Amino acid sequence: MLAGIHAQALPRHRNRVLDQEQRGARDVDRVRRVAWTGAAVAAAIGLLFTAVALFGGRWMGLFTADPAIRDMGALYLLCQAAVFPFTGAGLACYFACLGIGFVSGPFILATVRLILIVGGCWLALSLTGNAMAAFAAIALGIAFFGASLLIMMRAKLRQIGGR
């Protein structure tokens, strides 16, 4: 378990270290390259998960034999499929922003994402009682987070680089 956590944290740690190291060396072009490369790779990995999500019933069948749980899990994966690239790119931008010393903006966006998802799910379930509406609220919150972080990172990289 500990090795799995370490392996998952390693790419994010590496991205932060490279960003901070290059910013300290005033190599803003390299900071920019590392940040955007990290976002692109994370979005590409998200696309792979999108492909898996399109076969959600089979994927969920690996974990449960209960048809109701399998179908609900497949529905969730299908609703999230389009935003998996935003999830990856958003998290890469989040850690890149931390690496260049910009913490408040990403933290505020993460908080807003949580509020949007919880509030959206509460509203969706209160009005419709439908899981698909709640899953759509989650997808919207994640898409907002990813897109906002891409915009925020772009602005911050321009600010530190003078572009």
Q: For residue range 52-80, what is the model confidence (pLDDT) as tens digits?
A: 999 999 999 999 999 999 999 999 999 99
Where in the chain are the domains?
A: 2-161
The rounded percent of the chain whose pLDDT value lies above 90 is 72
| pLDDT beyond 60 at 23 | no
Which structure tokens are listed for 91? 């998290």
pTM comes to 0.78
Indicate the length of the chain as a whole number: 163
Q: For residue range 121-154, what is the model confidence (pLDDT) as tens digits?
A: 999 999 999 999 999 999 999 999 999 999 999 9
SS3 content of the chain, % helix, strand, coil (to 5): 90, 0, 10
